[in-house]
Amino acid sequence: MDYREEIKQLRDALNEHGYKYYVLDAPTISDYEYDMLNRRLEELEAQHPEEVTPDSPTQRIGGKTLEGFASYTHESPLESLQDVFSAEEVEEFCQRMDEALGKETAYSLEPKVDGLSVALEYREGVFVRGATRGDGRTGEDVTENLKTIRSIPMVLPDKLPRLIVRGEVYMSRAVFEELNAQREIQGKPLLANPRNAAAGSLRQLDPKVCAERKLDIQVFNLQLAEGREFVSHQETLDYLASQRFRVIPHKMLSGTAACQAEIARINDNRMEYPFDIDGAVIKVNSLTDRVKLGSTAKFPKWAVAFKYPPEKKPAQVLDIVIQVGRTGVLTPKAVLTPVRLAGTNVTNATLHNQDLIREKDIRIGDTVIVQKAGEIIP
């Protein structure tokens, strides 16, 4: 067989098996078999370096440490969403949509991944650039680090002139707990939460370090597609799934009651997702209706993010100990029966100072309600 043909067959096979493993979670060959295919491709590319292309499966982890990140201007701004916090505000949003459009509005309802928003750009079906959201208009070019995320396809079945998609990069709870267990053994400071860990990993100047963090992505929006027309958000998500992206779980529905029920269902089942969530997003499905509704100076009018209140659980105070900070400040800390909150096990909570202990009359043996401030500090 001609070496060019073998290289093509190996790349196609590795892309196919990578998609089945990292996106579908349904591998059809063993890790060893995959590694052997990859090694053979590396050998052929070493023998014929002129055949190496940026989209080759062997090029996911660059060998060069970056000196810094270049800025990137988003052609389609990555807008933020207006937050709502109550059933009444959800009802008001749905009523506004129905009144503005003169009909019962159809929505897509999705979990809001607590991660880092990025844009991925493809030209002629090949991944060429990826950037963080930044302020929505200008972000940082983190292409080399995004290449290390195995669920991001390097090549797409369709070869549109240009395609830009938006997704949320995250670190799964399982990877986060594994990473913190390793750091504890090594005597390193523990990472605060999966979101901060993902953000820090994506901004590593050495792509090899980012690769070790095993980040993942959920794609949730089509920003730009040259040479293809769509009428609805559902249609764009179906198309992105056909292009081998890992697409955000979503439900299509209409009416305030259905939206409220789905928001509650997502919250009740939040630990079934591999990623942390901090809310649910309601989006108008029709793209024509979105254009009609437009945006304010800050937010699109056709979507809102319902933010869940912090999770609270009871725990018993087993002991009260004094913690010495790096600057010598003494802080009382409650040792608790373990409770699981926002995806992590909590065994301690700060009591701030003696005045707080006196004011709340906190004693060993008391049962207390524990929550995370900003889903970070108990």
CA dist., res. 61 & res. 211, Å (int): 7
Q: Looking at 20, 112, 292, 313, which residue is catalytic?
A: 112
Contacts of 23 (CB under 8 A, 6+ apart): 151, 244, 245, 246
Q: Tell me whether residue 245 is exposed, middle or buried, using C-beta atoms within 10 angstroms of its C-beta: 0 to 12, 13 to 18, 19 or more.
A: buried
Question: From CA 258, how far away is CA 251, in angstroms rounded?
Answer: 10
Exposure string for 91-123, b = 16+ CB within 10 A, e = fewer = eebbeebeebbeeebbbbbbbbbbbbbbbbbbe
Residues 210, 281, 310, 78: what is their CA dihedral angle, to the nearest 10 degrees? 50
DSSP assignment string, 115-156: SEEEEEEEETTEEEEEEE-TTSSEEEB-HHHHTT-TTS-SB-
Distances (CA, A) of 316 to 35, 50, 184, 339: 49, 65, 25, 10
Active site residue 112: yes
Q: Which residue has the tokens 């809310």?
A: 279
Strands (E), the chain: 71-73, 82-84, 106-113, 116-123, 126-132, 138-140, 162-170, 216-225, 251-254, 277-284, 303-307, 312-324, 330-341, 344-350, 367-371
Helix, strand, coil shares of the chain, percent, nearest 5, are 35, 30, 35
Active site residues: 112
